[in-house]
Structure 1
Amino acid sequence: MMFRRTLLASAALGLGLAFGGAAAAAGMDKVKACFVYVGPIGDGGWTFQHDQGRLDAMAEFGDKLETMYQESVPEGADAERVLTQMALSGCNIVFTTSFGYMDPTNTVAAKFPNVKFEHATGYKRDHANVSTYDARFYEGRAVIGHIAGKMTKSNKIGYIGSFPIPEVIQGINSYFLHARKVNPDVELSVVWAYTWFDPAKEADAAKALIEQGVDVIAAHTDSTAPLAEAQKAGNVVGFGQASDMAAYKPSPRVASIIDNWGPYYIKRIGALLDGTYEQTASWAGMPEGEVVIGEITEAVPADVKAEAEAMIAAITDGSYHPFTGPIKKQDGSDWLKEGEVADDGTLAGMMFYVEGIKGDIPK
C-alpha cells in the first residue's frame, strides 16, 4: 500500500486558505457526494472515521444530500477506474481519502472539470477542481504523550509507526517531547509496522514493544490490534487511534485521538449547496474540531487528566503549540529557540527526530 498521508512540499503550502478563480458559479438544490476508501469501513480506525464523517453530512443535509462510497479500493490504477465511474455516475464531489490516490485524483479531475475532487492528505492541486485536506494529528500526540510520561511505571514508552514519512515523524516527536517534559527519565522505543492496516503486523509490533518492557503504547496504524495486545498483557495501557476504540475502555484504552472529519465534509458539501465553494488546501486541528481527544478514563489519575485537559484547551485556543522551543534535534543541534514556534513548512517536511530519541529513521 502506498503512503496515504503526506509529504507536503513547502511550496505547496498555503494551508487553510482559499484560492481564487475556483468558486462554484451557483448553488445547488441537491448534491451527490462520493467517497473512496482505502480500507473497510469496519476497520475501527481511519476508514471507519471517514465514513462517520459521511454519515454526519447525511444527518446535516437530509434529502439535499445523496452519498455513495466504495471501500477497500487499492491505490493506483484501480483508484482511477473507480473515480472515473463515480464521475460518470453523477457525483458532484468526490472525496478520495488516501495519500496514494493523489495522482489518480488529479488525472481523473482533468477529464471531469465540472466535478469537484477533494484529496485527503495530499499536496497536488493540478487543476482548479482539486482541493486537499489534512489534519494536525501531532496536536493529539502531544496530549497522549503527556499522559504516557505520567503513567509509565517502567519509564519505557512505545510507538508503532506505519511508514517513515513526515506526518508520522511529527507524531513520534510530539509524543516523545511531551512525555519527556513531565518525565525526564522516559525512553521511547519505535517499531515500524510498514502498514496502515494489518492487524497481524500491528499485533506483532505491540508484542515486540511489550517484550522490551514498554508499558504505554501509542500507534499510528489503523486497527485495534495494539490495544488487544495491551489488554492481554494486563499491565500495559494505550490509546485509541483515528477513532475512539471505546470497546477497550476504561483500560487499556485510557484516551484516544479521534479524526473528526464530519465538520470538514459538512463545510465543503454545504459550500456546494450555497454556491460559495472554492478550491482550498486545508490543514486543520483542535481549534477547528478536526482533531479530538476522546474520553480520558478513570484509569488516568485525576491530576494527570486535569493537566491533559488544560493542554487540550491551550492548543484549542491557540495559546500553546506542541512544537515550541527550546527544542534540539537528535544530533544535539539547535532547532527552535526559547519560545520559537515551528513553521508549517518545516513540520510538513519533518524527517528528523528530536533530541533524546534513540535510533535512526528508516530510509
Structure 2
Amino acid sequence: MHQAGAQLRFNEISSTTCTQYSDIEESGFALDSFEDEALLGAPIQPDLDMGADVIAAQANFLPGGCILVMSLCGSVTDGTAMQMVLKLWADHCRNLYDAEASGTEKEGKISPPHQINQEMWRLVGLDPINKTAARANDDVLVPRCVTLNNSSQSMKHILFYMPQAAYAALLKECATELRMTNVLLSASDVVCAFIWRSVMKAWVAAHVHNTKNNGTEHGEETGNDEPNLAEIFMPFDARPLFGPLGMPSSYLGNVNFEHRPSMPLAALVAEDTSIVSLARTIRASASRAQDRGALLDAYVLLQAEPDYSPLQLQSTCVAPPSVAILDSLSFPFSDTSFEDSVFGNGGKPDAFRPLMGALNRMFRICFILPRKKHRGIEFLMTLSETEVDYLLQDV
C-alpha cells in the first residue's frame, strides 16, 4: 500500500484474505464482506482542524476484480460532486477527459435574516424561534440543538431488493390514484414515500414493543413525551437553481441542502394513508425548498452565523421518528466505464455500495442505490434489531 497521506492508494486484498471477487458477487455484494477500514485507509470523518484531503480513494484488488472505494470531505463537497468525480475518473481511465467549466458573475435578490421564513431557517439547521433576537442583532443566530450519538452499540444495515415487476406495479398503483388529481409526481417521490412509511411503521411497532417491555434500543430517546411528528431528511442538489447566476453544472463544491417533509406520525402509519398522499407531501416540500430565492435566503442565514461548527454534523441528529433518505436513482451508473479492455462488464461497476460501518453508529439513514438498466431497485436501511424484525414482517 502507498505511504500514509496518499490520496489514491493501491491495496492487494489477496495478500490478507482468500476471498475472491466471485464470492462477493455470489453474496449479492454484501456490505459485511470486509470491514470498512480494510477498504479505505482514510477516516470517514477527517479532523478538519488538522487538515483533510478533499478526496481519498483506494483501489482494492482481489482475484477476479477490483473494489474501488472513494470518500469526499462533506464539509467541502457533496454527493452530486462525488458522482461527477467518479464519472470523470472513469473517463480519465478511458482517455476521454475533456471538460471545462466557466461562469459569469451575476447577482440575485437577497433578504435580511429577520425577513426570511421559518422553513428556510430549518433548511440550514437553525432555530427560527429566535427570530426576534436576530432582528435586533443579525450577527447572532442560534443553531438547532445537536446531540451526537456516541453509543457503542451499532444499528443494523439491511439491503432490500424491489424487483422490476414490483416496482412497475407500485408505479401503476400510484398512477391510478393520480389520474384523479393534477399533481405530478416523480418515480423518486413514490419510492421515497414507500420507504418512509415502511421504516416508520417498523419504528412504531418496535417503539410500542420496547415501551411495553420498559426498555429502549439504540437511537431511541427516553422520556415521557410520545413522539407525534415524523420527519424525513431529503438532500437535493442546488446546482441547477444557481445555474442562471453563473454557477457551472460541473461545480464540485458543496451545494447540498436538505428539505424536510413532515406529517403526524399517526397519519403516516395509518392504513388508509396512501403512498400517493405521502409522495405528494414530499413533492410539496421539495417544491418549496427548491427555489432560487429561498436558497439565497438560506445563504444569508449562514453568512450571519458566526460559528459553523454546531451545524457541521446536523445529519447526525436524525433521531426517531425521523429518517434521512439519500436518493441515488439518477446516478449515471450504466454510463460509468473504467475501460473495457481492462475490466469486464464493459468496464462498468457490477454494484454500488456505501461504507456503512460508521453510519450504523451515527445515522438513521436509507440509501436508494443507483439503478441499473432493466433492473429493480435496491435500497439500504439502518435499523435496530427489533425494527428489522417488524419490517420483515410488514414486507
> Shorter-chain TM-score: which interval?
under 0.3
Give me the TM-score of the superposition, normalised by structure 2: 0.24
Give the greater-gyration-radius structure (CA): 2
Higher strand share: 1
Give me the TM-score of the superposition, normalised by structure 1: 0.25
